Structure 1
Amino acid sequence: MAEALPLHDPEDPRLRDYTGLTDVQLRRRREPEEGLFIAEGEKVIRRALDAGYPMRSMLLTEKWLPVMRDVVEAADAPVHLVEPALAEQVTGYHVHRGALASMQRTPLPEVPEVLAGARRVAVFEDMVDHANLGAAFRNAAALGVDAVLLTPRCADPLYRRAVKVSMGAVFSVPYARLESWPADARLVRDAGFTLAALCLSERSITLDALVARQDPALALLFGSEGPGLTPGALAAADVHVRIPMDAGVDSLNVAATSAVVFYATRRPRT
């Protein structure tokens, strides 16, 4: 059982996991290399723990100690109690949620493992914006997507911004990272999935037409904001799909697109 111990020195090595959280390039390199990620806020910390991620340490301000008391008492990792000004000095921003936890990453499953038994998966190609990725994961969790596949250049779902926007949904949807793209599209197809690319092209069918086909297993492919899907991804897809638009609008934000598509292709509840 842990107890919250006050810390006062921003240079204290016990706070190293929390230093420079606003330095995106630094954190994108450090966190995977050191096998950690940061969970921010009470709900996200609890969801990370419920998902089985081990805690390395926790950083709390006095205000949040009563709220997190049960987590503190159950923790087998150090719990650091700091003043808000010190938390801001260490992290680089105002920690208004007052609670951070450094969590230990666990090994990612292999692609065949996440595809086994799945009937509807999302493939995110080169989605480098952490907010979009977090929102798309939240949509996937809310609308019953079985699994997510990430291309090699896709952002880290466990980066703090992605975790925060997803409200911890990145912990509840199984995901794996493809090693070679678009060559690894064959792994998806060989597992029995129809690869449907969301795009505007001359061969695109409507989303309603896709749903009417009743493909037994669907892999829904989304590109990055702006450029969209790469030519290689479009060539690898079995079918191109568009969402019909009104009022002169040609497309939606990728996160909004994922919500519409996930809802339209959801399986009926039994």
Structure 2
Amino acid sequence: MKDLFSDNSQLYQQARPDYSAEILEAVLKYVPERQLAWDCGAGSGQFTQWLAPHFQQVLATDLSAAQLAQAPQLQNVICRAAAAEHSGLADHSADLVTVAQAIHWFNFDAFYAEVRRVLKPKGCLAVIGYGLIEAQDPQLNQLIQLLYFDTLKGCWDAERHYVDELYQTIPFPFAEQQMPALSLQYRWSGPQLLNYFNTWSGFKHYVKQHNQSPLAPLEAYFAAQPIASSYAVQFPVLLRVGLCAAAQS
């Protein structure tokens, strides 16, 4: 698993999109017991905080201690810096394992072996993510597309293709359940959008390669708009939920 997000972890916590009650509801439908959830690749706790009210205890792990340090401090949440394949949990102790916007960085075989080890017989794995941001304004959306596909071409890690393919091409050796089509919708200001683009791994690689920001066209676009402008944007939700074999009986 790569650690690409320890640098400027506070910005990541502030600028990344949140999740939603609809996502949580779709997942919890398949989790009859709620003693322990393991949120793997938890980052700064974006999804952990959604889980916490529904479980007696939540374990949040991430390779980046800097990311975990930005997570909200919740009474029933334990944070631990650990690789995805080393949760430290007892065998068959977890009711739910979640991975939000992180599984494409994992060693699939090693992680899935750990998932099988820690899940209870009626346990559930939920893989959550979001795809490329889409703007309602055509000009803004075109600038985002140019940034992602043209300017940053060659700057994305190879694993990014799993996100582009909406997580449909990741191996998923569990009994998969049908999920609703969901999206995350926001109205963000220009500065919010620029902060979000600053958290992209492709952005970070570009800056290291070229020693300059790739955001000049977007900055010029926002500078030409009224100061208080906000922009309707959405992210397609990537959601795959699978059950252990024993959970199907």
TM-score normalised per structure 2: 0.27
Q: Return the structure number with greater strand share.
A: 2
| Rg larger for | 1
Q: Which structure is higher in RCO with an 8 Å CA cutoff and minimum separation 6?
A: 2
TM-score normalised per structure 1: 0.25
